[in-house]
Every structure is written in C-alpha cells, then in structure tokens.
C-alpha cells in the first residue's frame, strides 16, 4: 500500500514512501539473514520478537481479537522473510516498509479508522528530548487533541523507561500532525524501539475505547536481547 504522509513543521518536510521488500534500500537492513530461534504467541508477541531479533523499529496497529497461536520455526531468515511467513497465517493484516528500515504492520481497516488514536491530528507537538519522554508524551497529546484541549502543559501518566531514556530525539516543533506520523518521525530519529497498539473496535470513539487502546499500547527498547515475558491482551469491557 502506497501512502503519502505529510504535515507542516517549523522548517521540515517529511515524505514516507512504501518500499517493496525487494528494494535495494530496504535490503540493506531488512533483508539481511540472521539465525533465529523458534517463536510462538499472539501477534503482538511475534512482532516484538521481530523488532528485538533484527533491531528494527516496528509500528503495529492491531485490532481485538488479536491473532493468537502464531508460530515461526527456527532457522536463518531476514526480518522481511519472517514477516512473509507470518502474514499468510493471519487474515486482514498487511505490512509495509517506510524509509527503508521501519516496519509498519497493521490491520487494513485500522489505518483509516476514526476510532484509532493514531489518526488523531495534533495541532502542535514538540518532540521531547528522549524516547522515554516521547512514550509518555504522545498518548497524553493525543488524548488532549481528541478532547479539543491544547497540548501544552500535558498531564502525563505512566512510567519512564531507563533504556529508552538513553535514546535521544531532536527537539522540533510540528503542526497538524497525526499520532502515526509522529511515531514514524521518532523511529526515523531513533530507530531503537517498537510500538504496538491494540484497538478494541475500529469505529469506537468513546473514552472507554480510548482508555483500552492506551492500556494496550506496548512499547519497548531494542537493546540486543529478546523478551520472554508474555504480552497480555484483555477482552474489552462490555
């Protein structure tokens, strides 16, 4: 899927182009074979594995119920190779490569869903100095924008990440930018994290649905080791 991602910034123009798996730019990072162990789990867990195993940023937009009982056999493969084996196992999901090294995996209806926090437009956003600050600031900015409130003086909740605190971002001001575009910008600046969000319903725009997405927004640093802890995804409250 080819898309143009554009927004205004202080002195900045950003164009994200979908790159096919065979493109030479993508091959340099994503087509490099690496020996890997077998992995199984739900889609969020497998995407985390791909991100950590290959040290590439993964942005995932998932929809409940998230596909489960997925399995990738051990072997020697590239990040693109693993995804090419994974995607046929699940229905309704696609992936694209952005800027040659960012993997965007999404349920195809979610990217245009009004209920997705990542489609919320923020009138003004200042990129914070670290990935840890960004992990805390972005959800708060989207929540304020959703309610028509200014994004300055945000009320932030959550816990900082020591590892993500070490990864620096270039402080810049952006105008009229979506949550998804900000994630891509951060991954361009510091390609050392994964971000996986689960929506309870693609069309729901209530506080409960937004809270569910925030509670099921999984972030992590890429530090050269594989996580073993499960990612729990709860059923939405009736």
SS3 75: strand
The rounded distance, in Å, linking the Cα atoms of 78 and 86 is: 12
Supply the pTM of this predicted model. Answer: 0.86
- Nearest residue to 179 via CA among 209, 135, 236: 135
Q: What are 166-201's pLDDT values in tens digits?
A: 999 999 999 999 999 999 999 999 999 999 999 999
Q: What are 58-109's pLDDT values in tens digits?
A: 999 999 999 999 999 999 999 999 999 899 889 999 999 999 999 999 999 9
Question: With helix as H, strand as E and coil as C, how does 113-159 read?
Answer: CCCCHHHCEEEEEECCCEHHHHHHHHHHHHHHHHCCCCCCCCCCCCC
- Read off the DSSP letter of residue 17: -
Structure tokens at 179: 């949550």
């Amino acid at each position: 899927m080819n898309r143009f991602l554009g927004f205004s910034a202080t002195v900045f123009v950003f164009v994200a182009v979908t790159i096919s798996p065979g493109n030479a730019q993508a091959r340099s990072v994503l087509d490099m074979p690496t020996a890997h162990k077998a992995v199984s789990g739900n889609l969020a867990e497998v995407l985390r594995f791909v991100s950590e195993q290959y040290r590439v940023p993964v942005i995932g937009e998932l929809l409940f119920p998230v596909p489960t009982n997925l399995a990738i056999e051990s072997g020697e493969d590239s990040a693109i190779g693993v995804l090419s084996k994974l995607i046929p196992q699940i229905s309704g999901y696609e992936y694209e490569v952005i800027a040659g090294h960012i993997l965007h995996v999404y349920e195809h209806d979610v990217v245009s869903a009004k209920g997705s926090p990542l489609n919320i437009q923020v009138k003004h956003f200042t990129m914070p100095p670290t990935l840890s600050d960004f992990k805390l600031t972005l959800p708060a900015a989207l929540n304020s924008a959703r309610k028509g409130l200014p994004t300055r003086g945000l009320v932030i909740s959550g816990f900082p990440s020591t590892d993500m605190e070490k990864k620096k971002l270039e402080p810049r001001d952006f105008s009229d930018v979506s949550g998804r575009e900000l994630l891509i910008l951060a991954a361009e600046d510091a390609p050392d994290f994964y971000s996986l969000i689960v929506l309870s319903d693609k069309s729901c725009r209530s506080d409960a649905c937004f809270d569910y997405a925030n509670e099921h927004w999984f972030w992590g640093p890429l530090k050269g080791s594989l996580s073993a802890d499960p990612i729990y995804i709860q059923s939405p409250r009736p």
